[in-house]
């Protein structure tokens, strides 16, 4: 298995080093060889090569079976030409790998219940939701789009369009993901108002015929946003379009209470998946041994589960994270004492 690792900027290198350690331990324990190569992205790539996404990085990613990213950006690059900002590197690699699905699990470890600001009776029921967001279509990219003047006043417009093949592939991926979890899928749309949503719903229902073992439900996005804070335990996997997914995945993340705990995966077809923590480069704590590496370590688990079909290995990491938390080990974001700690994988 070839893995291309891009540590990036800020806390990126420190959290990634911990992720790699865990990967090595898993390799030894389960008898796998992970061939890890490093590549430049973001600010460090700008400093060394002049661009945030060097060709060599794109090549290394495409040759790998999976890609891991730390984080990009920092104040020292804020003033440079927007066309070559560190964030461009991230957008660029997502595009190069045609990653059309973004998977964001938001799980609350019982050990961290205090971090969650939902009512305690709701927290007791548990939170373990995964939002599958379509990433390359919908209103973000639909044509026509633009700004102009109409009858003497300014207008702006975008088009929410989804084509059958786009809906089919994201639905399939979400059903597959639900199969690896609690086998419940909720498709979120706005079919009472939007035509595009009616087609979305129709196709999701068609795809469901291939997944009789997964329970499918539908919800309007306004209701879903409400239900997610009212009782997240009712959800397993949520599949939705680009705009609704952007909003719901942030909402799902924030209810768990810790940005330092949440992993993500971006997947495509026939290309390696990209795995990264949802947090940024946290320049305010970089180099101080304070960063929480668990989001990255859990991203390693996602990589094993979704790119390599190594469910037992992924579960092992997740259990090690739980065990580490049970032992009371904490970073500053989830307690008041610092220190970068490795999960204890045995």
40, 55 Cβ separation under 8 angstroms? no
Of 11-30, binders to ligand ATP (CB under 6 A) are 11, 15
Catalytic residue among 65, 128, 231, 250: 250
Q: For ligand ATP, give the closer residue by CB, 57 or 281.
A: 281
The residues that bridge with 67 in the sheet, in sequence order, are 4, 274
Binding status of residue 254 toward ligand ATP by CB under 6 A: no
Rg (CA), the chain: 20
Euclidean distance between CA atoms 3 and 65, whole angstroms: 6
Binding status of residue 298 toward ligand ATP by CB under 6 A: no
Q: What is the largest CA-CA distance in the chain?
A: 69
134, 200 Cβ separation under 8 angstroms? no
88, 42 Cβ separation under 8 angstroms? no
Is 222 considered catalytic here?
Answer: yes
Which residues define the annotated binding site for Mg(2+)? 222, 246, 250
Q: For ligand ATP, give the closer residue by CB, 240 or 281.
A: 281
Q: Which stretch binds ligand ATP (CB under 6 A): 19-27, 110-118, 188-196, 290-298?
A: 290-298
Q: Which stretch binds ligand ATP (CB under 6 A): 95-103, 150-158, 274-282, 311-319?
A: 274-282
130, 114 Cβ separation under 8 angstroms? no
Q: Which of 285, 297, 300, 316 binds ligand ATP (CB under 6 A)?
A: 285
Residue 186 binding partner per list Mg ion, ligand ATP, none, with a CB distance cut-off of 5 to 8 Å that depends on partner kind: none
**Is the peptide bond preceding residue 178 cis, with omega within 30 degrees of 0?**
no
CB proximity list for 150: less than 8 A, separation 6 or greater: none
Euclidean distance between CA atoms 39 and 249, whole angstroms: 28
Which residues define the annotated binding site for NAD(+)? 74-87, 280-292
Q: For ligand ATP, give the closer residue by CB, 64 or 68.
A: 68
Reading the block at residue 166, the tokens are: 């786009």
How many residues touch ligand ATP under the rule CB under 6 A: the total is 17
Dihedral of CA atoms 13, 16, 22, 25 in degrees, nearest 10, equals -60
Of 64-103, binders to ligand ATP (CB under 6 A) are 71, 73
Binding status of residue 280 toward Mg ion by CB under 5 A: yes
Please report which residue ranges of 42-85 form alpha helices under DSSP H. 43-49, 55-63
Q: Which stretch binds ligand ATP (CB under 6 A): 44-52, 227-235, 245-253, 284-292?
A: 284-292
Nearest of 38, 34, 36, 39 to residue 1 by alpha carbon? 34
Q: Which of 281, 299, 307, 324 binds ligand ATP (CB under 6 A)?
A: 281
Helix (H, G, I), strand (E, B) or coil at 219: strand
Reading the block at residue 14, the tokens are: 């420190």
Is 140 considered catalytic here?
Answer: yes
Reading the block at residue 269, the tokens are: 């077809």
Binding status of residue 332 toward Mg ion by CB under 5 A: no
Q: What are phi and psi of 224, to 5 degrees?
A: -60, -40
Binding status of residue 338 toward ligand ATP by CB under 6 A: no
Catalytic residue among 47, 195, 222, 309: 222
283, 74 Cβ separation under 8 angstroms? yes
Q: Which stretch binds ligand ATP (CB under 6 A): 55-63, 76-84, 169-177, 276-284?
A: 276-284
Q: Which of 260, 263, 268, 273 binds ligand ATP (CB under 6 A)?
A: 260
Is 9 considered catalytic here?
Answer: no
Q: For ligand ATP, give the closer residue by CB, 15 or 103.
A: 15
Binding status of residue 52 toward ligand ATP by CB under 6 A: no
Euclidean distance between CA atoms 299 and 260, whole angstroms: 11
Binding residues for Mg ion, rule: CB under 5 A, are 280
Binding residues for ligand ATP, rule: CB under 6 A, are 11, 15, 71, 73, 259-260, 279-282, 284-285, 291-292, 295, 331, 333
Task: Please identify every residue annotated as catalytic.
Answer: 140, 190, 222, 246, 250
């Amino acid at each position: 298995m070839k893995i291309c690792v891009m540590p990036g900027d800020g806390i990126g290198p420190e959290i990634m080093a911990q992720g790699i350690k865990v990967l090595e331990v898993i390799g030894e324990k389960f008898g796998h060889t992970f061939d890890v190569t490093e590549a430049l992205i973001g600010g460090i790539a700008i400093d060394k090569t002049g661009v945030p996404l060097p060709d060599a990085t794109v090549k290394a990613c495409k040759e790998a079976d999976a890609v891991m990213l730390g984080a990009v950006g920092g104040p020292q690059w804020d003033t440079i030409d927007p066309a070559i900002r560190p964030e461009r590197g991230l957008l660029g690699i997502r595009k190069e790998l045609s990653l059309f699905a973004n998977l964001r699990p938001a799980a609350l470890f019982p050990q961290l219940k205090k971090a969650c600001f939902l009512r305690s009776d709701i927290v007791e029921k548990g939170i373990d939701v995964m939002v599958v967001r379509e990433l390359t279509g919908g209103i973000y990219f639909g044509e026509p789009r633009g700004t102009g003047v109409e009858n003497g006043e300014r207008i702006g417009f975008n088009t929410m369009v989804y084509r059958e093949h786009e809906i089919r592939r994201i639905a399939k991926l979400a059903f597959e993901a639900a199969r690896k979890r609690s086998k419940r899928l909720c498709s979120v749309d706005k079919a009472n108002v939007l035509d595009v949503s009616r087609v979305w719903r129709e196709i999701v229902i068609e795809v469901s015929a291939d997944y009789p073992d997964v329970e499918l439900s539908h919800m309007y996005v306004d209701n879903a946003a409400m239900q997610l804070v009212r009782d997240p335990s009712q959800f397993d996997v949520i599949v939705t379009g680009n705009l609704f997914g952007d909003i719901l995945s942030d909402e799902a993340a924030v209810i768990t209470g810790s940005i330092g705990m949440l992993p993500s995966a971006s997947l495509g077809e026939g290309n390696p998946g990209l795995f990264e923590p949802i947090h940024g480069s946290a320049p305010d704590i970089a180099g101080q041994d304070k960063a929480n590496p668990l989001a990255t370590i859990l991203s390693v688990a996602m990589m094993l589960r979704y790119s390599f079909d190594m469910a037992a290995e992924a579960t092992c990491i997740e259990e090690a994270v739980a065990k580490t938390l049970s032992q009371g080990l904490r970073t500053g974001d989830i307690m008041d004492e610092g220190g970068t700690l490795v999960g204890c994988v045995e």
